[in-house]
DNA sequence: TTGAAAGCGCTACCAC
DNA sequence: GTGGTAGCGCTTTCAA
């Protein structure tokens, strides 16, 4: 392994000059720059970022702690983060907290040891972010979800509006008996979706019977169980809003097993859109989150904090907090349709018109 | 930010003692260990891994360069790597090469600068791994795919056997007109799948007309185009083997648009299995790669190389190369069935038996 | 404009 | 057992 000294010797200059070259100091003479670069290339020399980090007290590395990397939603988030990081000379250490608060805490400590400049965090349900000492370690930007009452930097989908708009879509199709399968309600992503759903119902004075509010946990199995329960009710709903991709899969399985046809017998609206949503039978109507953009903007905010004056280093409270809520997009496909009763009415109307 | 000196002062010991404590040196007296640990906890002190790395010439960090993180297959690979790394005290820097050889080369240089201890690489089509100087930088273990003629450490699916077994499944169902949609053929994953397919056909003396060999590029669009082409042939195949998940999606879209029913009119066997494979209509028969295990074993091999004696540091040629080929699993679902002609024969046989 | 040297936080060697 | 200290590779100040 070569050092700056080897390059200096080979190029016949001092180490300070070599350092000046790869830090683009304008004071180094072009001729010397040339000689140094040649020497660097000859030895496949790349400055040691570890030594550099120690000296500069800056690693140009950020940590990314994801509660559940297996959820394909996060793949796009990660890509957005990675792209923005890479084009700004940052590297990303990826940590999979696996929905385990203990592991999340462990990762946050590891990242601190490694002196990452900042952290992007999609927190688990029992969030370490609430502990103030974590924020003394490095700036943090939350992604996708925030704990109740959290006041800090965050980028997420405007879940309330997204759920509201989606539910309105169901109402406008003529549905009156609409059920919801929610996720956990202790983080914003679960709660805001339920709230948006409720708002849309209340505006139309539609009831939400207890049985129509099924509480899942964002996992496939819970979507399946809640789906079974809903469709076995004496008065099953005519439309179901499923609050994430996995639960939607479980719900579809439940419908299949019960031989309940979608959308004829029940409409399904799912949160999260993916490559395969348009390949289902029926093609799924979904609420698409801007995952890539979420990652990109989160990294941008973090970078901005890192460029803040050194004395507060992006940690101090004086820096204004940024919360970005990105708009989701409703993608209407074939899993939502007017309820059977409305079909009847429409047919009748059609008949009437024809008979004029 | 506190340093080892602050802890030493607070605990009333020397820096050497403090260092001894968090490096588990058995020579430190328990009473001192206690005092030091208390001081560390009091200040939320975590040893600076940057300084440590500089001193030890070891970062306990590995790089992971993925040609295409958007492919959900890699999500599981990454999880396997991450889990194995984490439980051995390693961190993972994730790099998305985006199928761009230039970007891949750039990342390999960045990782070298950061002095990662080793690299896991799913190479792009125009692979930097063939360049010998890369291997002087750090040990590399390839994942999922190797360039033709590569001799080094690698972990991948036994693509040849997987494709062979899958094709045999089609043959045993009675298919004789079997087509394939391949990916690029310059890396092992594409080529071995084609070879396994060919082998199975040859054993049964089945022809592979030129038109039945459609060359895709592992992207959705190519699966779609190849699917259209195949089913518009004067003599379309009765079964199609699609060489990855994305192309299978494209193929299914093509079948849908042409109103070709699967599996009645054509059977579909897809490489790669995912959460949604069992939720398609029809439920897809697939070849499931052990992605998580692939990541885990790749990281294990890399760790083993890192523990090799310092003088060759896992880079020298003397260390034997390990190539692991993991078995894939054929998951038979509903998208593959006997061809229409065989259905007829079976029905006839059934009739005959009844008439006995 | 260039070079010599101090020091970032830690480890490990050596002296006590 | 414990402590003092050189030095990992780099940046940057200061002197030439």
* B168 at A interface, C-beta within 8 A: no
Residue B351 CB coordination number (10 Å): 9
Q: How far apart are alpha carbons B82 and A340 in whole angstroms?
A: 49
The token pair at B317 is: 């040629």
Helices and strands in chain B: count of H runs, count of E runs: 13, 12
Whether A199 and A235 share a structural domain = yes
- What residue in A sits closest to B70 (Cα-Cα)? A75
Residue B131 CB coordination number (10 Å): 11
- Which of A63, A279, A281, A313 should we substitute to test contact with B (largest number of B Cβ atoms within 10 Å)? A279
Whether B268 and B199 share a structural domain = yes
Query: Residue A286: what are its φ and ψ, rounded to 5°?
Result: -135, 165
Residues in Cβ contact with A93 at an 8 Å cutoff, skipping those fewer than 6 apart? A61, A62, A63, A64, A111, A114, A116, B61, B91, B92, B93, B94
Whether B256 and B299 share a structural domain = no
**Is B237 part of any domain?**
yes
The token pair at B353 is: 């038996």
Q: What is the CATH number of the domain that holds B343?
A: 3.40.50.2300
Percent of chain B clearing pLDDT 90 (strictly above): 83
Coil, strand or helix: which one is B270? Answer: strand
The pTM assigned to this predicted structure is 0.94
**Is B258 part of any domain?**
yes
**Is B143 part of any domain?**
yes
Using the structure, give the distance in angstroms from the CA atom of A37 to the C1' atom of C2, rounded to a whole number. Answer: 17
- Nearest CA to B156 among B119, B107, B122, B106? B122
Coil, strand or helix: which one is B309? Answer: coil
Query: Residue A29: what are its φ and ψ, rounded to 5°?
Result: -65, 140
Rounded to a whole number, what is the largest CA-CA distance in chain A? Answer: 99
Q: How far apart are alpha carbons B114 and B243 in whole angstroms?
A: 36
Residue B172 above 60 pLDDT?
Answer: yes
* B315 at A interface, C-beta within 8 A: no
- What residue in B sits closest to A83 (Cα-Cα)? B96
**Is B344 part of any domain?**
yes
Q: How far apart are alpha carbons B265 and B254 in whole angstroms?
A: 13
Q: How far apart are alpha carbons B203 and B222 in whole angstroms?
A: 29
Q: Are B75 and A69 in contact (CB < 8 Å)?
A: yes
Please report residues of B whose CB lies closer than 8 A to that of A97: none
Span B145-150, mean pLDDT?
92
- What residue in A sits closest to B103 (Cα-Cα)? A86
Nucleotide with the nearest C1' to B55 CA: D8
Residues in Cβ contact with B297 at an 8 Å cutoff, skipping those fewer than 6 apart? B80, B155, B324, B326
The pLDDT value given to residue B356: 38
Q: Which nucleotides of D are covered by protein (CB under 7 A)?
A: 1-5, 7-13
**Is A53 part of any domain?**
no
The pLDDT value given to residue A343: 52
Which DSSP category does A115 fall into? Answer: T
The pLDDT value given to residue B353: 45
Do B79 and A96 form a contact (C-beta atoms < 8 A)? yes
| Rg (chain A; Cα; Å) | 27
Q: Find the domain containing A235 and state its range.
A: 159-289+331-352
| Helical (H) or strand (E) element with A2 | none
Residues in Cβ contact with B22 at an 8 Å cutoff, skipping those fewer than 6 apart? B36, B40, B47
Whether B111 and B163 share a structural domain = no
Q: How far apart are alpha carbons A87 and A85 in whole angstroms?
A: 6
For residue A78, give how far its alpha carbon lies from the nearest alpha carbon of chain B (Å).
9
Do B185 and B171 form a contact (C-beta atoms < 8 A)? no
Residues in Cβ contact with A56 at an 8 Å cutoff, skipping those fewer than 6 apart? none
Using the structure, give the distance in angstroms from the CA atom of B47 to the C1' atom of C8, rounded to a whole number. Answer: 14
A13 contact to strand C (CB, 7 A limit): yes
Q: What is the CATH number of the domain that holds A22?
A: 1.10.260.40
Whether A92 and A24 share a structural domain = no
Q: What is the pLDDT of residues B202-253, one digit of tens each?
A: 999 999 999 999 999 999 999 999 999 999 999 999 999 999 999 999 999 9
- Which of B64, B67, B275 should we substitute to test contact with A (largest number of A Cβ atoms within 10 Å)? B275
Q: Please give the distance of CA B167 from its chain centroid, rounded to a whole number.
A: 21
Query: Residue A188: what are its φ and ψ, rounded to 5°?
Result: -60, -35
Nucleotide with the nearest C1' to A7 CA: D9
Do A141 and A155 form a contact (C-beta atoms < 8 A)? yes
Q: Block means of pLDDT (10 residues each) for chain A, length 356 residues?
A: 93 94 89 93 95 97 95 94 97 96 96 98 88 92 94 96 98 98 96 98 97 97 98 98 96 95 97 88 95 98 84 56 96 96 53 42
Q: How far apart are alpha carbons A18 and A40 in whole angstroms?
A: 9
Q: Are A281 and B281 in contact (CB < 8 Å)?
A: yes
Span B13-20, mean pLDDT?
95
Whether B257 and B305 share a structural domain = no
Residue B176 above 80 pLDDT?
Answer: yes
> How many domains are there within chain A?
3
Which DSSP category does A187 fall into? Answer: B
Residue bearing tokens 């046809």: A261
Whether B253 and B300 share a structural domain = no
A32 contact to strand C (CB, 7 A limit): yes
Coil, strand or helix: which one is A16? Answer: helix
- Nearest CA to B65 among B148, B143, B137, B1? B143
Span B277-296, mean pLDDT?
94
Whether A132 and A268 share a structural domain = no
- What residue in B sits closest to A56 (Cα-Cα)? B50
Q: How far apart are alpha carbons A183 and A297 in whole angstroms?
A: 25
Using the structure, give the distance in angstroms from the CA atom of B53 to the C1' atom of C1, rounded to a whole number. Answer: 34
| Helical (H) or strand (E) element with A210 | none
For residue B297, give how far its alpha carbon lies from the nearest alpha carbon of chain A (Å).
18
**Is A322 part of any domain?**
yes
Whether A306 and A282 share a structural domain = no
**Is A13 part of any domain?**
yes
The token pair at A65 is: 């702690």
- E runs forming strands in chain B: 61-66, 91-96, 118-122, 140-143, 154-157, 178-182, 213-215, 239-242, 267-271, 285-288, 323-326, 329-331
- Nearest CA to B287 among B156, B159, B143? B159
Q: How close are the terminal C-alpha atoms of chain A, in Å? A: 91
The pLDDT value given to residue A341: 73
Using the structure, give the distance in angstroms from the CA atom of B50 to the C1' atom of D6, rounded to a whole number. Answer: 19
- Facing residues of B122 across strands? B66
The token pair at A158 is: 């405007």
Residues in Cβ contact with A148 at an 8 Å cutoff, skipping those fewer than 6 apart? A186, A187, A188, A191
Using the structure, give the distance in angstroms from the CA atom of B35 to the C1' atom of C15, rounded to a whole number. Answer: 25
The pLDDT value given to residue B355: 40
**Is B52 part of any domain?**
no
The pLDDT value given to residue B318: 62
* A85 at B interface, C-beta within 8 A: no
Within chain B, where are the H helices?
4-11, 15-22, 30-42, 49-56, 72-86, 101-113, 132-137, 159-172, 188-203, 220-231, 245-258, 291-306, 340-355
| Helical (H) or strand (E) element with B138 | none
Whether B244 and B202 share a structural domain = yes
Do B295 and B79 form a contact (C-beta atoms < 8 A)? yes
The mean pLDDT of chain B is 92
* B283 at A interface, C-beta within 8 A: no
The angle that helices A220-231 and A245-257 make with each other, rounded to 10 degrees, is 40
Please report residues of A whose CB lies closer than 8 A to that of B280: 276, 279-281
- E runs forming strands in A97-238: 118-122, 140-143, 154-157, 178-182, 213-215
Residue B311 above 90 pLDDT?
Answer: no
Whether B37 and B69 share a structural domain = no
Closest partner residue to A50 (CB to CB) among B53, B82, B281 is: B53
Give the strand pairing for A285-288 and B178-182. Answer: unpaired
- DSSP assignments along B182-230, one per residue: E--SSBHHHHHHHHHHHHHHHHTT----GGGEEE--SSHHHHHHHHHHH
Whether A206 and A63 share a structural domain = no
Q: How far apart are alpha carbons A189 and A159 in whole angstroms?
A: 6
């Amino acid at each position: 392994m070569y050092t700056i000294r080897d390059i200096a010797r080979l190029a016949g200059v001092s180490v300070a000059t070599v350092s000046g070259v790869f830090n683009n100091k304008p004071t180094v003479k072009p001729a010397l720059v040339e000689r140094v670069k040649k020497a660097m290339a000859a030895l496949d020399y790349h400055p040691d970022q570890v030594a550099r980090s120690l000296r500069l007290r800056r690693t140009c590395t950020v940590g990314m702690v994801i509660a559940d990397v297996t959820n394909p939603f996060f793949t796009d988030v990660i890509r957005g983060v990675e792209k923005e990081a890479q084009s700004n000379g940052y590297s990303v250490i990826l940590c999979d907290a696996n929905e385990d608060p203990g592991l999340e805490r462990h990762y946050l400590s590891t990242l601190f040891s490694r002196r990452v400049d900042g952290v992007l965090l999609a927190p688990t349900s029992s969030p370490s972010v609430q502990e103030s000492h974590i924020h003394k370690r490095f700036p943090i930007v939350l992604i996708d979800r925030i704990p109740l009452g959290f006041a800090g930097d965050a980028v997420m989908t405007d879940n309330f509006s997204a759920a509201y708009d989606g539910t309105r879509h169901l109402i406008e199709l003529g549905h009156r008996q609409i059920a919801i399968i929610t996720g956990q309600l202790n983080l914003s992503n679960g709660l805001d979706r339920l709230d948006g759903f409720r708002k849309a119902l209340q505006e139309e004075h539609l009831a939400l019977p207890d049985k129509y509010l099924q509480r899942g946990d964002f996992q496939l199995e819970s979507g399946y169980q809640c789906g079974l329960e809903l469709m076995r009710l004496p008065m099953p709903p005519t439309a179901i809003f499923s609050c994430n991709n996995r639960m939607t899969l479980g719900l579809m399985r439940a419908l299949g097993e019960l031989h309940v046809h979608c959308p004829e017998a029940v409409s399904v609206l799912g949160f999260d859109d993916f490559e395969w949503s348009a390949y289902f039978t029926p093609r799924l109507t979904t609420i698409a989150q801007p995952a890539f953009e979420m990652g990109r903007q989160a990294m941008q905010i973090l970078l901005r904090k890192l460029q803040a004056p050194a004395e507060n280093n992006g940690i101090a409270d004086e820096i204004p907090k940024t919360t970005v809520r990105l708009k989701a997009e409703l993608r209407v496909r074939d899993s939502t349709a007017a309820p059977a009763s409305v079909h009847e009415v429409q047919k009748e109307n059609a008949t009437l018109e024809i008979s004029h």
